[in-house]
Amino acid sequence: MIPARRPLLLSALALAVAGLAAPARAQVKWDLPAAYPATNFHSVNLQAFADDVDKATGGKLKITVHANASLFKAPEIKRAVQGGQAQIGEVLISNFANEWAPFGADALPFLADSYDESVKLWKVQKPLFEKKLGEQGLMPLYAVPWPPQGVFSKKALASGADMKGIKFRAYNPATSRLAELLGAQPVTVQAAEVSQAFATGVTDSMISSGSTGADAKLHEHVKHWYDTQAWLPKNLVLVNKAAFAALDKPTQDAVLKAAAAAEERGLAASKKANGESLDKLRAGGMQILPPPAALSADLKKAGEVMLKEWLDKAGADGKALVDAYRR
Ligand code: PCA
């Protein structure tokens, strides 16, 4: 049925009023899927970022953080943001090295293996990433490194040879390849399921941070952590470009400002989490050990193979990146 005629002037007036009122009142809601527990320093930092944006925009942009892979699993988050199922998300960028090799640069053993080097690597990665992600309808907002990666193992390790045949949990293509080169059996398990994987014997070892070990209460299942400081993989917060473009300018500025603050705060939080989580694991009965020389040497050898393979795959982009990083 056709609705009763309304005086034309009145509906025009109603439209004009709605149009004027909309920008002031409209609230935009964004979902932010993330893959790590709500108490992890990355997630705490995401929440602080969302709170900063809320405050700076007077509640106009509300970002809801969905921690612990509750909305999407870690490897699905990038595609979800690309496809607009989520407007913003946090990814472990090296998870996507098979898509484009430079995404994996921060998971190459011993290329950038300290906080300072990790920051330096990000500086040269960022412009390249902006271009590549831009082509995919995405925009990087900020990056935060995980603490240095060390080897968790149920059995004591003296060298790479001790890892032959043992089950080794992987979290990205680089950790799978490292396992293969060491003769271990890679099994991919996302962080949210690490505790269960060790408890049920799905895996006996992995390389990761003390932070993820403490999140998973790994001291209950594993007695050794070797402080190999092999690399510091980064979490990257990505936004859907169209969703960002739809914001008004002051809101966009608030997001960028909060992102810059989150990058700085996240770096400090990572350093703090590194010490605290190792203390927690130690208190729980795990031995926090310097790596035996032979284990370090074997990891370095594997790292050299991986860098060569990566340079082959990454082509001109990879060479430019490594050259700029080493300059
Ligand atoms: N924790 C994440 C990635 C690197 C890290 O330290 C994980 O183990 O999945």
Q: Residue of the nearest CA to atom 3 in ligand 1?
A: 208
Q: Is the model's pLDDT at 5 over the cut of 90? A: no
Tokens found for residue 111: 């290329």
* Cβ count near 107 (within 10 Å): 30
CA of 191 to the centre of ligand 1 (A): 6
Distance 146 CA to ligand 1 centre (A): 7
d(CA 180, CA 184): 6
In this prediction, residue 26 carries a pLDDT of: 84
- Name the residue at shortest CA distance from atom 6 of ligand 1: 209
Q: DSSP string of 88-122?
A: EEEEEGGGGTTT-GGGGGGGSTTTS-SHHHHHHHH
DSSP class of residue 183 equals T
Task: Output the ligand 1 site: residues, CB below 6 A.
Answer: 92, 146, 171, 191, 208-209, 211-212, 233
User: In terms of Cα–Cα distance, which of 206, 172, 186 is closest to 92?
Assistant: 172
Question: Residue 25's pLDDT is what?
Answer: 56
Provide the whole-model pTM: 0.92
pLDDT digits (tens, 9 = 90+) for 262-287: 999 999 999 999 999 999 999 999 99
CA of 212 to the centre of ligand 1 (A): 6
- Structural domains in the chain, CATH included, are 27-96+113-145+233-277 (3.40.190.170), 150-231+284-326 (3.40.190.170)
